[in-house]
Structure 1
């Protein structure tokens, strides 16, 4: 049990509350939702941002959210933890679409504010939400406007709260005593957690797992926005209250529920991954130059920002990096040797 769980609650944690607040009539729902949001809403003190002016959700500006799945909240874990699941969501009401980009936790990148190159998921361990937002913003060269964190119990609670989700499972497997059969099945919280966690029995490994995580996020979101979600709002609020944090305000939620619903009718799913390589005995994902540039431009288009023909130079991402930082994904690595099948478990795997 680790992380995607939290992720899920993330996009939901945000949207669910906003949708409920404006679509369900009755002061009790409104008051309960507002009260829950007061408990989970926490501002973040950042040292840098690419925004000269904050986006206005009230004015229907496109915006981005960083979803972080934190590996604490269960199994007696109370430490800071790491963000072992990371997704960047861009929301564009004019285009009536959203994009979910999964980031591999092992991406080798600049940890902004810590002064080192390391795995991306270590940014949260070193500096919480602020350092994670700064590091992802630097990596993707886009503004990260808001965050949502979910701890490891979140996904299980939320799946149960919405009455389960239906998936077509392509791999019959058992994970830690939980059997998930092949075929079209309805997952409850227990089996849904296993479905999102399983990695070693998937031929695609962590990439296959991240695809399933995005699938679960999307299906929970749709369920939450349905009548099922509204009728079970108290269970949903309880799951959100116990397991999530965000810097979005209650007023933001109401505006999202009012102005952004069409943006969630089309949800594009993307993946940013590199090539696996061992450095000093530790496994990292090294990103390709074109691969990273394409991901940056995709998100910039969704946010209504100008795209680039090349990676920006002289910033904290590209300046002073070793040959290991990026490779030419049209010709291969510039240095070192690719080791696709090598993996060192440093304790951050599920």
Structure 2
């Protein structure tokens, strides 16, 4: 599949407290407008979090936000270790539609077979980050799904524990009882601390669905932090949150991007839909891969490109 040319994007949580991210994922929370304009928040966002990449047309993305059009945000959860850049074990395309007040999360399994744009190798899609950072990861996902990414957010999964703790823990509904890293996660509603959340999203060996089950838990954690953050008065917590973000997150959003998303897209979390791409297993040169059919790729591409455009407004 050839990469489409980037064209004008004129076509095509409340998040006031601060833009949080995980990925497992991104975390968007709500709060008072005054919180966003605090100097320390602005400084952290622009000086520590912000990272421009060539594969995203920043001016076109800003125009879409100005016109309140749906935007696509690639969420990268990277398991970085000492002396190892890591791979993006979590890749989620989040689409926000402010007009119909809805959000869509599409998960791409890390073992998905894809051409790595700018490198040429056909291998696991999560290798794109290892080979060329966030820029190559965005480029590869855009080519694979024939979509345009407007923003990316990368979080080091080692920072997930701190991030969950910074909002006071989260609650999820666990569909499979299991034990991981010494923690037991019973079936049903359960409250997670930061370290528990990290173990919760990392488990896959005991899950009969493998990566599919793990990706589902990652989406649960994303939604859990969104909801928890939206219910809190974070005035006293913003310092802790910003420290966690500054140490573990990078994004091409600057402070003004976040402020405008907060004001124009604040209700997109009211209705959330999720989708997990699925394909067939194969082995190539001893490497396990998930091969996506053209039908699955085209279906997912249409879901993202047409999100909101062909639905009846509420």
Q: TM-score, normalising length from structure 1?
A: 0.77
Counterpart among 114, 131, 136 of residue 109 in structure 1: 114
Q: Give the distance between the partners of 2:308 and 2:140, measured in 1 at CA.
A: 18
Gaps of 5+ in 1: 306-350
Partner of 1:43: 52
Partner of 2:75: 67
Q: Contact conserved, 2:22 with 2:222, CA < 8 A, in 1?
A: no
- Once the two structures are TM-superposed, the CA of residue 228 in structure 1 deviates from its matched residue by 4.5
Q: Give the distance between the partners of 1:146 and 1:134, measured in 2 at CA.
A: 12
Partner of 1:254: 259
Q: Provide closer, same or farther for how the CA distance between residues 228 and 165 of structure 1 changes in structure 2, counting only shifts above 3 A.
A: farther
- Once the two structures are TM-superposed, the CA of residue 65 in structure 1 deviates from its matched residue by 0.8
- Once the two structures are TM-superposed, the CA of residue 227 in structure 1 deviates from its matched residue by 2.2
- Once the two structures are TM-superposed, the CA of residue 179 in structure 1 deviates from its matched residue by 2.5
Q: Contact conserved, 1:43 with 1:247, CA < 8 A, in 2?
A: yes
SS at match of 2:155: strand
Q: Contact conserved, 2:79 with 2:158, CA < 8 A, in 1?
A: no
Q: Give the distance between the partners of 1:177 and 1:132, measured in 2 at CA.
A: 33
Partner of 2:278: 273
After superposing the two structures, state which structure 1 stretch, 31-40 or 242-251, moved more.
31-40
Q: Give the distance between the partners of 1:26 and 1:147, measured in 2 at CA.
A: 23
SS at match of 1:7: coil
| Residues 120-164 of structure 1: per-residue CA shift (max 9 Å, x gap) | 001111111111111100111110111110002222111111111
SS at match of 2:213: helix
SS at match of 1:186: strand
Partner of 1:7: 23
Q: Contact conserved, 1:24 with 1:230, CA < 8 A, in 2?
A: no
Gaps of 5+ in 2: 1-20
Partner of 1:325: none
SS at match of 1:227: coil
Q: Give the distance between the partners of 2:83 and 2:251, measured in 1 at CA.
A: 19
SS at match of 1:131: helix
Q: Contact conserved, 2:61 with 2:151, CA < 8 A, in 1?
A: no
Q: Give the distance between the partners of 2:230 and 2:296, measured in 1 at CA.
A: 33
- Once the two structures are TM-superposed, the CA of residue 80 in structure 1 deviates from its matched residue by 1.8
Partner of 2:40: 32
| Residues 226-278 of structure 1: per-residue CA shift (max 9 Å, x gap) | 22445522222222111100000100111011110111211111111211111
Partner of 2:18: none
Q: Give the distance between the partners of 2:219 and 2:254, measured in 1 at CA.
A: 25
Q: Give the distance between the partners of 1:147 and 1:94, measured in 2 at CA.
A: 21
Partner of 1:234: 239
Partner of 2:4: none
| Residues 202-227 of structure 1: per-residue CA shift (max 9 Å, x gap) | 12121111111101101111222222
Counterpart among 199, 203, 211 of residue 208 in structure 2: 203
Partner of 1:286: 291
Partner of 1:161: 166
5 Å matches for 1:78-89? 78-89=83-94
- Once the two structures are TM-superposed, the CA of residue 190 in structure 1 deviates from its matched residue by 1.4
- Once the two structures are TM-superposed, the CA of residue 83 in structure 1 deviates from its matched residue by 0.8
Higher Rg: 1
Partner of 1:346: none
Q: Provide closer, same or farther for how the CA distance between residues 164 and 228 of structure 1 changes in structure 2, counting only shifts above 3 A.
A: farther
- Once the two structures are TM-superposed, the CA of residue 52 in structure 1 deviates from its matched residue by 9.9
Q: Contact conserved, 2:62 with 2:257, CA < 8 A, in 1?
A: no
Q: Give the distance between the partners of 2:146 and 2:292, measured in 1 at CA.
A: 14
5 Å matches for 1:299-338? 299-302=304-307, 304=309
Q: Give the distance between the partners of 1:188 and 1:87, measured in 2 at CA.
A: 23
Q: Give the distance between the partners of 1:37 and 1:120, measured in 2 at CA.
A: 28
Partner of 1:129: 134
Q: Give the distance between the partners of 1:293 and 1:170, measured in 2 at CA.
A: 30
Q: Contact conserved, 1:55 with 1:61, CA < 8 A, in 2?
A: no
- Once the two structures are TM-superposed, the CA of residue 193 in structure 1 deviates from its matched residue by 1.2
**CA RMSD after TM alignment:** 2.2
